[in-house]
Structure 1
C-alpha cells in the first residue's frame, strides 16, 4: 500500500473542511491534531483553500493534507504545489485522474458504480472515493461490488457520522471515511476549538472501540491452573473449559495459563475494532508497543502486545 494511503488507513477518519478564511487554518488543524486526527481534506469549494493548504503544510508538516472537490487539472496542480498529499474529487473524470497520476500524485476519484470504479482502477487509482456513500446504498452496496472488485479500496464520505462510522470501517475494503461531524461549519465559524478537539477525541474512541476481552492468569502448573479456574467458576457460577495450554472460565472472560506466560502475573486482552489503527492512535498518546509481537493473519494485524507491563500484567490488543 502506498505510504500516504497507509497513513490515511491508520488515521481512519479524515475530517473534511471547507475553510471560511485563512485565519481558521492553523487553529482548526491544531484542534484536530490535539483530538487525535492529524489530517484534513481541504475542499476547493472556497477561494482560500489553496492558501490554507500551503500555510498548514508549511507550519504543521505533521498534518496529512488532501485537497477535496478538485474538479480540474489546474486545481489539482495548484493543490499539489501547495502541499496536498492526495487529491479527492466528487466524481470520476479520466483526464484529471490521468493527469494527477502522471505527475506522481495520488488520485481518489468519486465513484458510485462498479463501472466507474473499474475504469478508475484500470487508470491506476489505488484508492477510490465512494460518494455520496449513504445515498448510494452505503456499506451494503460496497459489499456487493467488493465481491467482484476484490482489490478495490474505498474512502467513504457523504452521510458518514458517529452512529455509522464503524459500520463502514468494519468492512475491510473500506480503508477510511471522511466526515464533518467532528468539525461542523458553525463550530468552526465560532472558533470553538476546544469543542472540536473534544469531538475528535470522541470520534477516535468510538472508532477504536476499546474494551476488556479477557484476563489471563499465570499458574505454576496445570494442577494450580485447574484449582484457580474452579475457584473463579464457583464464585461466579461459570463453566470451565480446559484447553491445550490454558483453561478458560465462563465465556472466555478468564484464561488460566497452565504454566507461566507473558507478564509477571499474566496478561490482559483489550479488544478493538482494528489493531493497526489502535496502535497508531495509542502510540500518539504515548503508549509503547512491542511491534515484534505483532500477529498478522491474511495481511491483517490481529494482535500486538504493549512494550511494558501494567500492575504486573502484560497487555495486548486483539481484534474484537
Structure 2
C-alpha cells in the first residue's frame, strides 16, 4: 500500500472541509488534530481552498492534506503545488486521473459503478472514492462489487455519519471514510474550535470501539489455576472451561493461565474494531507498542501488545 494511502487507512476518518476564509484554516486544523484527526480533505468548491492548503501545509506539515472536488488538471496542479498529498474528485475523469498519476500523485476518483471502478483501477488508481455512498447503496453495494473487484479499495463519502461509520469501516475493502459530522459548516462559521475538538475525539472513539475484552491472570501451575478459576466461577456464578494452556471463566471474561505468561501479574486484552487504527491513534496519545508482538492473519493485524506494563499487567489490543 502506498504510504499516503496507508496513513489515510490508519487515520480512518478524513474530515471534509469547505473553508469560508483562510483565517479558518489553522484554528480548524489544530482543533481536528487535537481531537485525534490530523487530516483534512479541503474541497476546491471555495475560492480560498488553494491558499488554505498552502498555509496548513507550511505551518502544520504533520497534517495529511487532500484536495477534494478537483475537476480539472489545472486544479490538480494547483492543489499538489500547494501541498496536497492526494487528489479527490466527485466523478471519474480519465484525463484528470492520468494527469495526476503521470505526475506521481495519488488520485482518488469518484466512482459509483463497477465499470468506473474497473477503469480507474486499470489506470493505476490504488484508492477509489465511492460517492455518494449512501445514495448509491452503501456498504451492501460495495460488498456485491467487492466480490468481483477484490483488489478495489474505497474511501466512502456522502451520507457517512457517526451512526453508520462502523458499518462502512467494518468492511475490509473500505479503507477510510470522509465526512463532515465532526466539523459542520455552522460550527466552523461560529469559530467553535473546542466543539470541533470534542466531536473529533468522539468520532475517533466511536471508530476505534475500545472496550475490555478479557483479563488474564498468571498462576504458577495447573492446580493453582483451577483453584483460582473455581473460586471466580463460584463467586460470580460463571462456567469454568479448561483449555490447553489456560482455564476460562464465564464467556472468556477471565483467562487463568496454567503457568506465568506475559506480564508480572497477567494480561489485560482490550478489544477494538481495527487493531492497526488503534495502534496509530493510541500512539498519538503516547502509548508505545511492541510491534514485534504483532499477530497478523490473512494480512490483517489481529493483536498487538503495548511495550510497557500497567499496574503489573501486560496490555494488548485484540480484533473483535
Which range, TM-score by smaller chain? over 0.9
User: d(CA) in 1 for partners of 2:203 and 2:289?
Assistant: 23
Partner of 1:10: 10
What residue number does 2:203 align with?
A: 203
Hey, what does 1:302 align to over in structure 2? 302
Question: Which residue of the partner structure matches residue 217 of structure 2?
Answer: 217
Aligned ranges for residues 156-167 of structure 1 at < 5 Å? 156-167=156-167
In structure 2, distance between residues paired with 1:226 and 1:214:
17
Report SS of the residue matched to 2:55: helix
After superposition, give the CA deviation of every residue in 1:264-295 in whole Å (9 maximum; x if it has no partner).
Answer: 11000000000000000000001111111111
State the partner residue of 2:78. 78
Q: What's the counterpart of residue 129 of structure 1?
A: 129
What per-residue deviation string (whole Å, max 9, x for no partner) do you get for residues 13-69 of structure 1? Answer: 000000000000000000000000000000000000000000000000000000000
1:149 aligns with 2:164: no
Q: Which runs of 5+ in 2 are unaligned?
A: none
The CA RMSD over aligned residues, in Å, is 0.4
Deviation of residue 251 (structure 1)?
A: 0.5
Query: What residue number does 1:63 align with?
Result: 63
The equivalent of 1:111 in structure 2 is 111
Equivalent runs, 1:1-320 vs 2, <5 Å: 1-320=1-320
SS state at 1:115 partner: helix
Structure 1 unaligned residues grouped into runs of 5+: none
For the residue of structure 1 that corresponds to 2:315, the secondary structure is: strand
| Deviation for aligned residue 1:160 | 0.2
Secondary structure in 1 matching 2:277: helix
In structure 1, what is the Cα distance between the partners aligned to 2:269 and 2:126? 34
TM-superposed deviation, 1:105: 0.3
**Shift, 1:170, TM fit:** 0.3
Secondary structure of 1:151's match?
A: coil
Give the whole-Å Cα distance in 2 for the aligned partners of 1:140 and 1:241: 38
Distance 1:198 1:31 in 2: 9
Cα distance between partner residues in 1 of 2:303 and 2:150 = 24
Instruction: Give, in whole Å, the separation in 2 of the partners of 1:197 and 1:191.
Output: 12
Q: What is the CA–CA distance in structure 1 between the aligned matches of 2:315 and 2:156, rounded to whole Å?
A: 33
Number of residue pairs matched?
A: 320
SS in 2 for 1:20: coil
Shift of residue 206, structure 1, vs aligned partner: 0.3
| Matches of 1:126 and 1:310, distance apart in 2 | 40
SS in 2 for 1:70: coil
Query: What are the Cα deviations for residues 129-173 of structure 1, in whole angstroms up to 9, with x where unaligned?
Result: 000000000000000000000000000000000000000000000
Offset of residue 210 of structure 1? 0.2
